[in-house]
Structure 1
Amino acid sequence: MKLSKQVASILTFALKNAFKHLCKKGSKRAFELISATPCVNQANAEITKCYTSLVDIIQGIKYAEENKRIPHLCCEYYTLFPCLYERTKRFTKCTTKKMDIASDFVRNIFENIISLLCGDYTDQSDKCQTLGINV
C-alpha cells in the first residue's frame, strides 16, 4: 500500500475513533471539549492564523530536498501547538486547561500519523534544529 493511502487510512480511523468517543452518551471527552469551545470561539481569528501559517509552510515544503520533506512536515507540525498557546493566552476564556483540552483533541487525531511518518523527528529531539526548524 502506498504511503498516501496508509496515511489516509490512519487519518480516517483516527477521526472515526475520536468522534465515536465524543458521541457516546455522557462522554467525558465531549463535555471537556464543549467546555473549551468558548475559548476556541473567542480566539478563533488567532487560532486560524496558526493553522494558516502551518498550511502555508507545508505548501512550501514541496521545494525542500525530497528526502527532507517529511522531516520538515513533522517539525513544522510541532510548531503548531506553541503558536496556539501563544496566540490565545491573552483571551480571558482561554485558560491553559482549555487550550490543553483543545490541543489534545488535535493531537489525538494526528498522533498515529505523526508517529508513523516522523520517527525520530519529534518535539523532544534536536533533529528539527538540524533542519533549521525551531520547535
Structure 2
Amino acid sequence: MKILYTLGLLLVVATYEVYTLECHMRELDICAASLLLFNQDDDVAQSEDELDIQCSYIREAQQCLQNYTNHCMTPIQRELMDFTSEGSQNLLKDYCTVGSEIRNNYLKNSNCLNEANKEARSCLTDLQAALDAIGNAEFNSRVTTACCGYQRYMECVRETINRKCGADLVNFTQELLRMAVSRLPDIVCSGYEPDSSVCKDALPPPGTPPIGSNSNSPLSRLFSAYFPE
C-alpha cells in the first residue's frame, strides 16, 4: 500500500510542478519530509496499529499538499489538482478506516504482500530508470516512453505478486493501484507492450541504475527522495 499511495501522490506532485507558477518548489520539501519517514521501512504494515501510524504520515503529507494548492494555485488549477488526486484520496479514506473491506483484505494478505513488496523494489528501480529516459526523450517520444515505462512497471508488479501470493492477490493489488492513480494510464497506454520493439527502443534495459538526483526528470528526482536506497 505504501508504494501504491505514494505513487499516486507523486503523480499529483509532478503535476503541481508543471502547473504552479506563483510558489517555489522548495515549499514542497516540507511535504516530502512526511513521506520520507513513511518510506524509511521497507516492511508492509501488518497490524491495525502499524496501519494507523502509516496513515498519520500520509494524512500529514496530504494536508501539506492541500495547503500548498490553496496558497499557490488559481481556482482552475486547484480544480484540476483535485480531479487528479481524487483516486488517491478515496483510497486513503478506505485504507485508513477500521473495518473497511480494503483494509481487512490488506491485513489478511499482509504477510505475503510484505515478501512481495521487498522483491518489487527492482520494479521501482526500473520505473525510475524509465523516468530518466522520459527526461531525455524528444518531446514527441515522451508519451511512448512514459507508457512503456508504466506498462513495464505494472507487468513487473503483477509477476512479483503472482509468484509470491497468487492470482487473486494480483487482482486485488491491481485494483488498489488503479484507485491510487486512476484508470487513465491504462486507457492512454493501451497497446504499449513492454516486450515490443517500440518499448525496448524507448526504455533502458531492466536493471539499469537510475540517475536519481542528477536526472533531467523532475519526477525521477522526487523518487530519489521518496524511495532512498
TM-score (structure 2 length as normaliser):
0.46
- Hey, what's the Cα distance between the residues in 2 that align with 1:90 and 1:77? 20
Q: Percent identity?
A: 21
Question: CA contact under 8 A between 2:161 and 2:169: conserved in structure 1?
Answer: no
Question: CA contact under 8 A between 1:36 and 1:102: conserved in structure 2?
Answer: no
The corresponding residue for 1:133 is 199
| 1:95–1:86 CA distance, 2 compared to 1 (3 A) | same
Cα deviation for residue 130 of structure 1 reads 7.7
Are 2:173 and 1:102 equivalent residues in the alignment? Answer: yes
Are 2:182 and 1:111 equivalent residues in the alignment? Answer: yes
Give the 5 Å matches for 1:55-74: 55-74=128-147
| Number of matched pairs | 127
Amino acid at match of 1:4: V
The corresponding residue for 1:53 is 126
- Give the secondary structure class of the aligned counterpart of 1:77: helix
Question: CA contact under 8 A between 1:58 and 1:73: conserved in structure 2?
Answer: yes
Amino acid at match of 2:18: S
5+ unaligned residues in a row in structure 1: which ranges?
Answer: none
- Hey, what's the Cα distance between the residues in 2 that align with 1:59 and 1:35? 36
TM-score (structure 1 length as normaliser):
0.72
The corresponding residue for 1:4 is 18
5+ unaligned residues in a row in structure 2: which ranges?
Answer: 1-14, 20-76, 201-229
| 1:22–1:43 CA distance, 2 compared to 1 (3 A) | closer
Aligned match for 1:44, one of 105, 117, 129: 117
After superposition, give the CA deviation of every residue in 1:95-132 in whole Å (9 maximum; x if it has no partner).
211222123211221125526xx63x31xx26888871
Aligned match for 1:82, one of 155, 167, 182: 155
Amino acid at match of 2:150: Y
After superposition, give the CA deviation of every residue in 1:10-58 in whole Å (9 maximum; x if it has no partner).
4432221111122334211111222232222112331111111111111
Structure number with larger C-alpha Rg: 2
Question: CA contact under 8 A between 2:127 and 2:153: conserved in structure 1?
Answer: yes
| 1:23–1:64 CA distance, 2 compared to 1 (3 A) | same
